[in-house]
Amino acid sequence: MSEDIYENLTQLGGDNKIPSSPEEAVLERVPNPHKDADYTVRFTAPEFTSICPLTGQPDFAHLVLDYIPGDWLVESKSLKLFLTSFRNHGDFHEACTVSIAKRILSVTEAKWLRLGGYWYPRGGIPIDIFYQTGEPPKGVWIPEQGVANYRGRG
């Protein structure tokens, strides 16, 4: 691949500050080097954090993103900065999880995408949020997300 395909990337290889909000975060993409093949890409963020919009207390989640790329891949450093931008963002679990999935989908134009948001308990109740764009293409191996249900101390 020639270097000029990466000339529009603003974050890879640079010194970057954490964006102050998800809206400010720049999510970038790179060309898929195997667009002739359907395959699954997985990103796992086991220490995702955001803030409760009412109490200001931190909320924690284990995110598992699976997608089947078309022409584009999400650039991983920009994804990391985008997810980190939620650290000071106040929103409910459902809003965070679904907006992350939709933003990644809009940038990558993925053939298929699934995001599991496994949120740790708040007030004694864990909340899990799942977003999926439809049926995946046939014949593509998509492993289970492998995140166990919350079991507490037992």
**Residues marked as catalytic:** 52, 59
Alpha-carbon gap, residue 125 to 40, rounded angstroms: 31
Residue ranges with strand state E in 79-154:
112-119, 128-132
Q: Reduce the DSSP state of residue 148 to 3 states and report it.
A: coil
Alpha-carbon gap, residue 86 to 77, rounded angstroms: 15
Alpha-carbon gap, residue 27 to 48, rounded angstroms: 17
Q: Which of 96, 98, 151, 91 is nearest to 126 (CA)?
A: 151
Give the single-character DSSP code of 29.
Answer: E
Alpha-carbon gap, residue 151 to 68, rounded angstroms: 31
